[in-house]
Amino acid sequence: MLGEPMHEPGSSLRPGVTSLPDAIATVLREAAAIAVMPRYRRLAVGEVEEKSPGDLVTIADQEAERIIAQGLKAIRPAARFIGEEACSRDPSLLDNLASGSAWIVDPIDGTGNYAAGRPPFALMAALIEDGETVASCILDPIEDRLAAAERNCGAWLDGARIAPASASPELRAMTGIVSDFSRPPAMVSRVAALAAQVAEAVPTRRCAGDEYPLVATGARHFALYWRTLVWDHAPGVLFLQEAGGVAARLDGRPYRAADATEAILLAQTPAIWEQVAEVLRG
């Protein structure tokens, strides 16, 4: 649910103060303008590679990550930089995520969509401290839509602060997103049971940066993912939580950036989370 505009898009989230999300957003917009959008639907032969089966990287990912790294390091020089493409070359960058400060970046979330010349895709960045996200931005460069959040300060979508939802629908009226990527075989029957009890369960479009705002605003009531790589989820988790939503493991434990191997269930409200989790627990 969107509340009254707190500021004009592109200005400070808090009048008179340049916030951390403002600074992050400026960096993401620069990377989008220089590296991402000029190549959208214009990638040449040889500018798309496969890092592993089904996992693509483009020259735009690589150039955007370099621009973002430079910009974020200027904001908080002491924080480590952990980008998706850098980690593909050096997985040890992910060590010790639970301590210290680190920038977490997905230069293009939804690279498969971007490479195919279709939306959705997004640029995402977050600052984590001791394993918890303290500020984040998600930029849809096609629509210039910005989702921004700061811990204990709130969440904003295109300049309007998101107010927590005042009501929760019954299970049969809910719509959600359910990923089948990396889904454990033991969960197939439980997911089928969930799909049978809700109004609609649609597959992921492989862009968490598009789907977190959908849940936060109630366009979808829940989302379920089985693999939670930090650059895919750290930015969105804070945004959802600051909008009044829930992001937690199926047993109720809170999301932690250092753990990428367990499922995560997102919900617009705590009541929605409990209803969906109950079905998934069997």
Residues in the annotated binding site for Mg(2+): 84, 106, 108-109, 232
Residue 115 host element (H or E): helix 111-116
Burial 100-134 (b: 16+ CB within 10 A, else e): eebbbbbbbbbbbbbbeeebbbbbbbbbbbebbbb
Q: How many helices (H) and strands (E) does the chain have?
A: 8, 15
- The DSSP bridge pattern shows strands 200-203 and 55-58 to be unpaired
Alpha helix locations (H) across 175-221?
188-197, 208-217
The CA-based angle 230-231-235, given to 5 degrees, is: 95
Q: Which two tokens stand for residue 81?
A: 């930089």
173 DSSP assignment: G
In 3D space, the residue among 234, 255, 246, 256 whose CA is nearest the CA of residue 277 turns out to be 246
What's the rounded Cα separation, in Å, for the pair 32 and 64?
7
At 51 the three-state DSSP class reads strand
The CA-based angle 14-19-20, given to 5 degrees, is: 150
Alpha-carbon dihedral angle through residues 106, 272, 182, 282, given to the nearest 10 degrees:
160
162: left (phi over 0), alpha (psi -120 to 50) or beta: beta
Distance spanning both ends of the chain, measured CA to CA? 31
- Cis ω on the peptide bond leading into residue 120 (within 30° of 0)? yes
**Residues in binding site:** 84, 106, 108-109, 232
